[in-house]
Structure 1
Amino acid sequence: MKTEDFDKAFDDGQSVVEHLDLTKARRPNQEQRRVNVDFPAWMVESLDREARRLGVPRQSIIKLWLAERLERQAS
């Protein structure tokens, strides 16, 4: 499919997914990297309580709180 045809189909609201190779798709600045962090036991227990309260995994709480703090620092 030519670029012009792809753009027109997209602009017309047609699905263009079948023309994409999503196996190579990447989200900029969203690549995952593993890090190891040691927390004191009281902190892990607090994180677990909050995670249970919200019904999400501990990792989600950590990511959310770190993201919020980093966004605040950036502004």
Structure 2
Amino acid sequence: MNAKDYGELFDNGETDIAEHLVLENAQRPELSQKQITLALPIGMIEVLDKEAQRMGESCQSLTKFWLSDKLAVR
């Protein structure tokens, strides 16, 4: 199936497309990681920590999410 076929299924009210997927052909994005050191102002770290705590996430997880979101726009 291609994207158009999946779109037609959705347009026809079918929201569970799992049975149409061929998981053996599924690909994941590059998952290898490289550790970096990032120096940030203390005030920025405090705000980041508070927001991560409010959301129930780790500071690292929230930072990766925000960076990913920002970089996806480009």
Band of TM-score, shorter chain: 0.5 to 0.7
How many positions carry a matched residue from both structures? 47
1:51-75 CA distance string (max 9 Å, x none): 00011100011000000000001xx
Instruction: Give the TM-score normalised by structure 1.
Output: 0.59
Which residue is equivalent to 1:62? 63
Moved over 2 A (4+): none
Structure 2: give runs of 5+ residues left out of the alignment: 1-27
From the CA coordinates, give the structure whose radius of gyration is larger: 1
Measure how far apart 1:29 and its partner are: 1.2
Gaps of 5+ in 1: 1-26
Q: CA RMSD in A?
A: 1.1
Q: Distance in 2 between matches of 1:52 and 1:42?
A: 15
Deviation at 1:43, TM superposition (A): 0.5
CA drift at 1:31: 0.2
